[in-house]
């Protein structure tokens, strides 16, 4: 099972949702990669906060944070230290994510769009994709006659 960018999963547990968040970004992104990259940075912050919380509770996890992303360009920017004109607007986020990738405390696996369950909340989908996603999420129509 794959998780969208807002999902943070520590280690290789049973894949339970730890946290999910949707928030309107405070700046206008010039590209979808920039928007995804900013959300990756916020997701990493929340993942690090959860790690600290778990440590305070006496649960030390050695596995890196898995921050899933469906944008290959954003993942490429995270792993590629070369400056590009298109990355100058996300400089602080780029260094923050790159530092954690270099330390090994973060991995950024790609998740295909068809496995992106959050799309049902953020995009207009075809009826088949919509039905599949709400079924995967366990959602039901409470107004549907039985």
Quick one: pLDDT band at residue 107, thresholds 50, 70, 90? very high
Share of the chain above pLDDT 70, in %: 72
Give the span between the Cα atoms of 28 and 20, in whole angstroms.
Answer: 22
Q: What is the pLDDT of residues 22-76, one digit of tens each?
A: 666 666 667 777 778 788 888 888 888 888 888 898 888 788 988 888 888 888 8
Please count the structural domains in the chain. 2
Residue 14 lies in a domain: yes
Residues 74 and 137 in one domain: no
pLDDT number for residue 96: 86
Residues 129 and 106 in one domain: no
Residues 137 and 93 in one domain: no
The tokens for 86 are: 């298109």
The residue ranking higher by pLDDT, 99 or 62, is 99
Q: Domain containing 69: what range?
A: 8-113
Mean pLDDT of 133-141: 85
Nearest-5° angle of CA 61, CA 42, CA 78?
A: 85
């Amino acid at each position: 099972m794959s998780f969208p960018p807002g999902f943070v999963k520590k280690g290789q547990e049973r894949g339970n949702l730890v946290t999910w968040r949707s928030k309107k970004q405070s700046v206008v992104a010039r590209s979808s990669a920039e928007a995804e990259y900013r959300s990756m940075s916020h997701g990493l912050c929340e993942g690090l906060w959860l790690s600290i919380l778990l440590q305070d509770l006496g649960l030390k996890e050695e596995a890196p944070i898995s921050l899933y992303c469906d944008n290959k360009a954003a993942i490429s920017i995270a792993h590629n230290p070369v400056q590009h004109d298109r990355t100058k607007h996300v400089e602080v986020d780029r260094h923050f994510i790159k530092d954690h990738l270099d330390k090994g405390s973060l991995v950024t696996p790609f998740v295909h769009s068809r496995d992106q369950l959050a799309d049902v909340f953020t995009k207009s989908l075809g009826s088949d994709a919509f039905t599949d996603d709400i079924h995967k999420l366990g959602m039901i129509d409470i107004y549907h006659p039985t």
